[in-house]
Structure 1
Amino acid sequence: MKTGQLQQLRTIHDRTAGMFQNIPESLYLLLGRLGMAGIFWRSGMTKITFESDVAHFSFAQLGAVISLDWSVSDFTYILFENDYALPFLSPELAAHLAILAELTLPILLVLGVLTRFSALAILGMTLVIQLFVYPHLWPDHSLWAAVLLLLVARGGGAWSLDRLVGGMLRR
């Protein structure tokens, strides 16, 4: 490759890298919060029964969860007794803890409230899932861990209630 061509490639590389460096941190932190919230919310929705479509988020789901107008599905107990059998928790307790986490932590992530704590708790769940439930899904879990570690390290970003409340507390 000639020197002139090499210089052109460097220029293209530098310009492209410069464009991507200008992506606001708040944007990718928001997308990380929404993505992780969506994964765990949908998982929580599959563990409960109520009168709504659990495949797609709706405010009816949120209303049912907040009003406690739902119950743990029988299938959830079967999963935690057989497929998700954890060596250190009873299936009933594990099912209830998972549902509690999967229906509260995603809401906190979406709002950007206690983002670092929520991301750390979901990272802990991810570790348990990886080690005891689905060890063969490490490519998915490593991606989740990368996003969650970013949220733990950086927080919710400028577009979060954490930032708003933090700013008010500093005054």
Structure 2
Amino acid sequence: MHAMKKMAAWLDAIPYSVIALFLRVVASHPFFASGQTKIGGPTFGREIFGLDLTVQIPTAIRSATFALFADEYKLPLLSPNVAAYVTTAMELVLPPLLLLGFLTRLSALGLLAMTIVIQLFVYPDAWWTAHAYWTALLIVLIARGPGAISLDCLIFRK
């Protein structure tokens, strides 16, 4: 029992800021990676220690992206072209904001809304394979904020 208390005390000492930074990195990745597949443009960066750190600078949305929204990602209330532009923009803007911890709660809320739309209209069978986990990460960030290792903390410090 004593070892359990020591372990709990050690885990309790982990600052929320470190946890929140990890949550922001993990939550932003699938959305940004998805956005990168939707665009064309020059690529910068390289692979380091097996980690792909390349980033494509958007100069255009790929024609395959428009076809994807016309044929597979049929969203209600939005034309396929509008949905392609809006989704791609959200996937390229919100994850970097979340990663930097800038407008964190708003960015996480936007990504949560995307997750809900994806779950309801695009991949309804993906709740337990991805969407439940994205939702959990984003809800923690919405509820608790970005932590001290963030631009929000630096800019809006009370």
Q: Do both share a fold (TM > 0.5)?
A: yes
Compute the displacement of 1:53 (Å).
7.6
**Residue from 39, 46, 50 that aligns with 1:48:** 39
1:86 positional shift: 0.7
The answer to which structure has the higher strand fraction is: 2
How far off is 1:123 after superposition? 0.2
Q: CA RMSD in A?
A: 1.8
Question: Gaps (5+ residues) in structure 2?
Answer: none
Give the total of aligned pairs.
152
Counterpart position of 1:32:
23
State the match for 1:92 in structure 2. 81
Q: Which has the larger radius of gyration?
A: 1
Q: Deviations over 1:95-123 (max 9, x none)?
A: 00001101110111111110000000000
| Aligned residue type for 1:71 | A
Q: Classify the secondary structure of the residue corresponding to 2:78.
A: coil
Give the Cα separation in 2 of the matches to 1:128 and 1:137. Answer: 12
Over the matched positions of the two proteins, sequence identity in percent amounts to: 42
Return the match for 2:145 from 138, 155, 163: 155
> By how many angstroms is 1:81 displaced?
0.8
SS of aligned partner of 1:136 = coil
Among 68, 72, 76, the residue aligned to 1:79: 68
Question: What amino acid is aligned across from residue 150 of structure 2 in structure 1?
Answer: S
**Aligned partners of 1:16 and 1:138: how far apart in 2?**
32
Q: Aligned ranges for residues 112-131 of structure 1 at < 5 Å?
A: 112-131=101-120
Equivalent of 1:106 in 95, 112, 117: 95
Shift in Å at residue 13 of structure 1? Answer: 2.0
CA distance in 2 between partners of 1:80 and 1:136 (Å): 18
SS at match of 2:148: coil
> Could you tell me how far apart the structure 1 residues matched to 2:5 and 2:81 are?
55
**Structure 1 gap ranges (5+):** 1-9
TM-score (norm 1): 0.83
Distance 1:103 1:77 in 2: 16
Whole-Å Cα distance in 2 between the matches of residues 22 and 136 of structure 1? 38
Cα deviation for residue 49 of structure 1 reads 1.3
